[in-house]
Amino acid sequence: MECETPRLIVSSYKGKNGKTLASIALAHSLIARGYNVSMFKVGPDYIDPSYHAAVTGRPSRNLDKILMGNKVVERFCMYSSGSDIAIIEGVAGLYDSPDGESEEGSTAQMAKLLKAPVIIVINGERINRTAGALIKGLRDFDSKVKIVGAILTNIVGNQEQKIRNAVKSEGVEVIGTIKRDRTLEKIMAYRHLGLVHANETGRETIALASSIASQNINAEIALKLAKEGSDPISFNGAEREKPFMKKIKVAIALGRAFSFYYPETIELASELGDVKFVDPEKDAYVDADMLIVGGGFPEVYAEQLEKNKPFMKSVKDHIEKGKLFYGECGGLIYLADTIAYMGYEYRMSGVIDAYAVVMNEPVGHGYVTGEVIKDNIIASKGTILKGHEFHYTKMIMKDREIFTLKYLKGKGIEGFDGVYIKNAYASFMHIHPETYNFLNKMLLQKFM
């Protein structure tokens, strides 16, 4: 089969140059003109895709070569089908990769896999002619990467025309500019894991940001470059693992404190039965066969979580009764006795005897690989699990016998992870269901 959806990759020469803002501004401009836009994010990320989804009204999908291999091509083709254009936001700088030596996991590698032209975001602060040198250097570094356009961000005063001239001198089209704006700076605020999640910022606020930023974006030029620069991709239709047939009740924690979920996790949960979203800040209890608590910012909202003691008790009862529980990162922290953050201590659910301390620097960051050292509800001994971690939390635990995962690569909890109690499994490792369908595995272990 062939995929012919026009596509553009939005990249830059480094992070924090405004790729997400440029991506949603471009999407807003195209949607305003009646085009059907699908969006994607290179690599493992929950936050940037939340902004994409807020603008397009549909899930943004991750394209992660390291975790998914060449399935990323099938994923792109499947989820971009029917779109007039696909916008793919890159990760870090164009050629940056996790190991810093090869192209594996880089935006440039994805551009070549998807045969997609690239737009470079250039931060216009204190720069003019050097913008041309940046374009030339990025283009000449790998001639197989097609750089066709640029979006200029953080523009003030009379610098715009100078930068435009420099970029055009290298034969690259300027799609548009985003002027420095206090409202945009306030909305697109950063926290320790990146931008503030869209769940907290709010869809209307993000719509305002994308509207302001899109005022000087030329959608027609972008679509023209996408059509001219995108080559057809050959791919094989992927067969998905059949969902477990027993229908169950699934509760998913979703709110300000917990919001890090891949769309596929929620979609797979929906195939298992009735899904209900619960907010650990507000709801009183859990009534489900399975509870999923993903990552997020429990430390930021620890005071509010602590106050909702009925929900914490309900979670503890859920686990003690042997019902299914799956937690990632924030979901693991929620099971601890106490969390220490910004000089204060807050009580958590107390399912495990652990003290969680939020540090000033990342404790674990990057791709991880672990070997299962004890049978548990998601995998049998000897299974190799792959995922990613990004957390600032140090877990101090007394009972180390509850670990079921030993890291071959990564940090976890002093090289271990996979806390397992009864039918509850929690870990700092984030797993994409396209890599390992942990939900199906849990049901097979529980009911077969």
Helices (H), ranges, 127-259: 130-141, 159-168, 182-187, 198-201, 203-213, 219-229
- Reply yes or no on whether the pLDDT at 242 is more than 70: no
Residue reference for tokens 């870090």? 92
127 CB-contact burial (10 Å; exposed 0-12 / middle 13-18 / buried 19+): middle
pLDDT of residue 448: 61
pLDDT of residue 236: 85
**What is the pTM assigned to this prediction?**
0.96
pLDDT of residue 241: 65
SS3 for 130?
Answer: helix
Cα 170 to Cα 130, 132, 175, 376, 444, distances in angstroms? 11, 6, 14, 57, 57
Catalytic, 329? Answer: yes
Residues 417/387, Cβ–Cβ less than 8 Å: no
- Reply yes or no on whether the pLDDT at 191 is more than 80: no
Q: How many CA atoms lie within 13 A of 425 on its CB side?
A: 26
Query: What is the length of the chain?
Result: 448
Q: Where are the domains of the chain?
A: 2-234, 248-447
Averaged pLDDT of the chain: 96
User: What is the DSSP pairing of strand 194-195 with strand 190-191?
Assistant: antiparallel
Rounded Cα–Cα distance for residues 282 and 285 (Å): 9
Task: Look at residues 445, 394, 448 and name the one whose alpha carbon lies nearest to residue 424.
Answer: 445
Amino acid at 24: I
pLDDT of residue 245: 66
Tell me if domain 2-234 and domain 248-447 are identical in fold: yes
Segment 248-274 mean pLDDT: 96
SS3 for 211?
Answer: helix
What superfamily does domain 2-234 belong to in CATH?
P-loop containing nucleotide triphosphate hydrolases (3.40.50.300)
Label each residue of 255-313 as H, E or C: CCCEEECCHHHHHHHHHHEEEEEECCCCCCCCCCCEEEECEECCCCCHHHHHHCHHHHH
SS3 of the chain: helix, strand, coil, percent, to 5: 35, 30, 40
pLDDT digits (tens, 9 = 90+) for 175-185: 999 999 999 99
Task: Look at residues 437, 339, 313 and name the one whose alpha carbon lies nearest to residue 383.
Answer: 437
Label each residue of 15-48 as H, E or C: CCCCHHHHHHHHHHHHHHCCCCEEEEEECCCCHH
- Reply yes or no on whether the pLDDT at 246 is more than 80: no
Task: Look at residues 362, 294, 369 and name the one whose alpha carbon lies nearest to residue 333.
Answer: 294
Rounded Cα–Cα distance for residues 285 and 304 (Å): 15
**Catalytic residue among 248, 329, 351, 402, which?**
329
Cα 78–chain centre separation: 19
Written as six digits, the tokens of 129 are 């002619």
Provide the CATH number for the domain formed by 248-447 in this structure.
3.40.50.880
